[in-house]
Amino acid sequence: MTVVLMTDHPAWTRPPAGTDPERVLLFNNGVWRLRFDGREVLSTLLTAPWENDCRPDAPTAIPVFRIPAARLPTTLPEPARAALEGIEAVVRVPNPSLWDALTAAFIRTNAADEAAARQLYGRWCACFGALPVMDGTTVGCTPPPAVVVHLTARHAEAVGLEQLRPRLRVAAETFLQSAGALARLPGDALVAALVRQTGLPRQAAALAAADFIGDFGLHPINDVLHRAAVRLLVDRSWPEEPRAFARRWRALAATERELSALTLFVLAHATLGSEAAPCAPAPHPP
């Protein structure tokens, strides 16, 4: 049985072979390094406690979702159930920052592939979101909206985001005015608001909402999911037309909770064993 860490967010890095996947995360006004040891996500605070101006009502533990196979639809066709039975659970860290989720979605949906998205996101953070940490070095985090609104075309060109700069600037201006209201919206309402207020394309808005809320029932039913479903259920005829495929896909789950788990497991299964995969599998320790 395997526990899979979803590393679909481009902040997750793949260190040299034999080391654990890790990422830097801004959480509760602190900078943290997350590492997956094969079973759990471990966190280390990189900023000094006095720098951590935390809100008294803010959570102190970084949320980590662990979705067990028991949440999969009970009516899932046998070929799919058999293919997924090797995955005990999928682990994912929901994004605590809606702003980061939005900017990452912009980058992911405009990059050529997962590797290109990670490189572009890394340059974006290193150039405009570098923060000092306790060991005297800096780590790259998503530049805040207040920085993004002042980026010039030359700045954006330096990291390969010149085509996205106008939309990122509009999104940053929106966040400076209404970040709190957006973050309180439920899933579908959040997707609609991101499209309407920030100019984010609907698929990217759904990607951002799924990343932030952690509900993969919101994940866009896109080419990536279509290919994963076809590979998993090869004996089923899947329609090519996106809306017809979406209806067929949603019909596999009886509830939104089942749909979220199914989407997460299928995406995880589709990328097991691939170097370009948005997940990191880990077997049970002996």
Domain positions in the chain: 1-93+215-286, 95-213
Q: Among 117, 73, 116, 71, which Cα is nearest to 90's?
A: 71
Length of the chain: 286
Residue 87 contacts residue 2 (beta carbons within 8 Å): yes
Burial zone of 272 (CB within 10 Å; 0-12 exposed, 13-18 middle, 19+ buried): middle
Using a pLDDT cut of 90, give the percent of the chain over it.
60
| pLDDT of 146 | 95
Q: Among 90, 52, 50, which Cα is nearest to 70's?
A: 90
Q: Among 112, 101, 79, 114, which Cα is nearest to 8's?
A: 114
CATH superfamily of this structure's domain 95-213: Hypothetical protein; domain 2 (1.10.340.30)
Residue 225 contacts residue 219 (beta carbons within 8 Å): yes
**Rounded mean pLDDT of 20-30?**
90
- Identify the band that residue 147 occupies on the pLDDT scale cut at 50, 70 and 90: very high
pLDDT over 70 (residue 279): no
Average pLDDT value for the chain: 87
Can you tell me the distance from the alpha carbon of 227 to that of 163, in angstroms, rounded to the nearest whole number?
28
Residue 113 has phi, psi (to 5 degrees) of -160, -175
The pLDDT tens digits for 70-79 are 999 988 888 7
Is pTM, for the whole model, over 0.85?
A: yes
The pLDDT tens digits for 76-108 are 888 788 888 889 999 999 999 999 999 999 999
Q: Which two tokens stand for residue 188?
A: 């579908």
Burial zone of 155 (CB within 10 Å; 0-12 exposed, 13-18 middle, 19+ buried): middle
